[in-house]
Structure 1
Amino acid sequence: MKQKPNNHSAWAEKWPAPAKLNLMLRITGQRSDGYHLLQTVFQFTGLCDWLSFHPVDNGKVSLKKTIPGVPESDDLTVRAAKLLKAETGCEQGVCIEVEKNLPLGGGLGGGSSDAATALVVLNELWHLKLSSEKLMDLGLTLGADVPVFVYGHSSWAEGVGEKLEKIRIGEQWVIIIKPACRVDTKQIFSAKNLTRNSRSITIRDFTEGEHQNDCLAVVCELHPAVKKALVDLSAFSEARLTGTGACVFAQFESENAALEAYKFLKDKWQIYLTKGVNESPLFSKLKLGKYIS
């Protein structure tokens, strides 16, 4: 990443932390440390949290406003900023402001995306010059989904989600439904009846229609509202679970088709209309502002 000669304007910006969708999710094994081995496909959306960064003179990292139920010390943006400082010896401080739009416990990667935006943007604002690869390594210590948000492009992912291969996917309109429940990822991955031995597939298998999510049965058993949302959305297009849920989504060939479904479902569900994108909105903004080459 190239440092912009004068980045005062960058401090004044709001920076997107986009939602991700898992277009499929297969669990192919489990490591000795308990982490699950996965195959998944990530795509970003235009639905975002927004982060602002305010310089402070005391060298400390803080939040302008905490998220209800999340202590400041546990907030992933704070942890990301402190991790950068510890890694580089940076003595600068920051107050982080988060406009939270992505639902908690929805499988959209909100916390991980916020952390990645903090890593990427503060690396620029603080002139740290860490490589994307280094930021991805640091991000992995915060969560398995953080590296793909740092990577910034739709990806075929393996390992625990950190082995990424750039792919291009059709940028379709998407409806996302958030049922009135919050799914605990640890509970899903510790469930006895979770499928952990799916066969590995290829990118071609995925593009030809293999879209299964191995977490689906467990999530629907524990959260009937997710199953109901899937049924309602499947009346309009193929409905899928993203990540470990709770959000379900469907892709549409046209904006009009998506709008028709949105209008029908909006009074019944917490619902979002957006579009899948191959390049993260964060990196689109960075390039547009010439903060990176």
Structure 2
Amino acid sequence: MSELTLPAPAKLNRLLHITGRRADGYHELQTLFQFLEHGDILHFQRRDDDRIRLTPALDGVAERDNLIVRAARLLQDETGCRHGGDRRGIDITLDKRLPLGGGLGGGSSNAATTLLALNCLWQLGLSLDHLAALGLRLGADVPVFVQGHAAWAEGIGERLTPVALDSPWFVVVHPNVTVATASVFGAAQLTRDTPPISMARALQEGFDAWRNDCEPTVRRLYPAVAEALDWLSEFAPARLTGTGACVFCQVAHEHEASRILQRVGEGWQAFKARGCNVSPLHQALGPYDQLA
């Protein structure tokens, strides 16, 4: 196999609690990750040299900082296929559909898709756990995309327990502002002391009790996000995902999601998607043990 085209799905944080702050500045979290049947698309073509080439460039993101390129180079360095007689490279084309900095995990999902695709195309034979550990070096959200199952997450988001969540339709709205994650986590008013709860309790309480501890702070700092939350709440309870800027609501049927989309005003981006517990990436690749 010399080429692959694979999805890099979005995620939602259906619940996000901040339970503490570590000495290194990272925050301790409890969250529920679920994937969406919507996201970016990546096209991979194996090269005969060790060059990593990504097109098109993303505005405002230097190539060296792009998580796709960083994931490919990390895999080269980890497996020794960047030097000597076993050089392996890749041409990658990104079909970008998710907004940058929207809280949907786009960059992390891109990195995970790259790790799994290159493990296959380069015939590296690394385990899923090995790839997830590499992904953690790129970002706290990368492992859940590598593992590919909806999950209860703790720590900084890297300690994962697979869960089975309901799979409604979601309407996701991006109010065309960029939320700086650092500004949210650095805000003095951010809730950092939510008492930890068990996964069983969180699942038992369900959606009506779920919340995002970042939402009050993001509302204050970014009025456009507050406006989108208020507007979407006219149709169904709305939540922030991650630190935003995307907000979402859930509905039972696709036609309800379509009806809401028809009313989205100019200047906002929006889409509808079904939630899913197995990542579309893993559905596209097939059982992982057949790829090693």
Q: TM-score range by the shorter chain?
A: over 0.9
User: What code does the residue aligned with 1:28 have?
Assistant: T
Mapped pair 1:98 → 2:81: no
Equivalent residue number for residue 4 of structure 1: none
Matches within 5 A, 1:181-192: 181-192=177-188
Which of 148, 160, 164 is equivalent to 1:164?
160
Mapped pair 1:72 → 2:63: yes
Matches within 5 A, 1:193-212: 193-207=189-203, 208-209=205-206, 210-212=209-211
Q: SS of 1:264's equivalent?
A: coil
Distance 1:257 1:222 in 2: 31
TM-score (norm 1): 0.93
Q: Deviations over 1:151-190 (max 9, x none)?
A: 1010000000000000011111000000120011111111
User: What code does the residue aligned with 2:276 have?
Assistant: V
For the Cα contact (< 8 Å) 2:214–2:243, is it kept in 1? yes
For the Cα contact (< 8 Å) 1:27–1:197, is it kept in 2? yes
| Structure 1 residues 272 and 25: alpha-carbon distance in aligned structure 2, compared to 1, 3 A threshold | same
Q: SS of 1:274's equivalent?
A: strand
Distance 1:25 1:87 in 2: 33
Distance 1:177 1:205 in 2: 29
For structure 2, the residue ranges without an aligned partner over 5 or more in a row are 82-86
Identity %: 48
Kindly state the Cα deviation for residue 256 of structure 1 after the two structures are TM-superposed: 2.0
For the Cα contact (< 8 Å) 1:124–1:291, is it kept in 2? no
Mapped pair 1:114 → 2:110: yes
The 10-residue stretch of structure 1 (83-92 or 256-265) with the greater mean CA deviation from structure 2: 256-265
Which of 18, 41, 55 is equivalent to 1:50?
41
Mapped pair 1:237 → 2:223: no
Equivalent residue number for residue 225 of structure 1: 224
For the Cα contact (< 8 Å) 2:128–2:288, is it kept in 1? no
For structure 1, the residue ranges without an aligned partner over 5 or more in a row are 1-6
Mapped pair 1:280 → 2:279: yes
Distance 1:39 1:290 in 2: 30
Mapped pair 1:29 → 2:20: yes
Kindly state the Cα deviation for residue 288 of structure 1 after the two structures are TM-superposed: 7.9
Runs (4+) of structure 1 exceeding 3 A deviation are: 288-293
Kindly state the Cα deviation for residue 58 of structure 1 after the two structures are TM-superposed: 2.5
User: What code does the residue aligned with 2:58 have?
Assistant: I
Equivalent residue number for residue 123 of structure 1: 119
TM-score (norm 2): 0.93
Kindly state the Cα deviation for residue 218 of structure 1 after the two structures are TM-superposed: 1.1
For the Cα contact (< 8 Å) 1:119–1:135, is it kept in 2? yes
Kindly state the Cα deviation for residue 216 of structure 1 after the two structures are TM-superposed: 0.5
Distance 2:12 2:177 in 1: 18
Which of 30, 36, 55 is equivalent to 1:39?
30
For the Cα contact (< 8 Å) 2:175–2:267, is it kept in 1? no
Matches within 5 A, 1:122-141: 122-141=118-137
For the Cα contact (< 8 Å) 2:125–2:291, is it kept in 1? no
Which of 138, 142, 148 is equivalent to 1:146?
142
Equivalent residue number for residue 84 of structure 2: none
User: What code does the residue aligned with 1:83 have?
Assistant: L
Distance 1:124 1:268 in 2: 40
Q: Deviations over 1:89-116 (max 9, x none)?
A: 0120112111100000100000000000
Q: Deviations over 1:27-56 (max 9, x none)?
A: 001111111100000000011101111222
For the Cα contact (< 8 Å) 2:150–2:162, is it kept in 1? yes
Q: Deviations over 1:244-270 (max 9, x none)?
A: 000000111111222222222255631
Q: SS of 1:265's equivalent?
A: coil
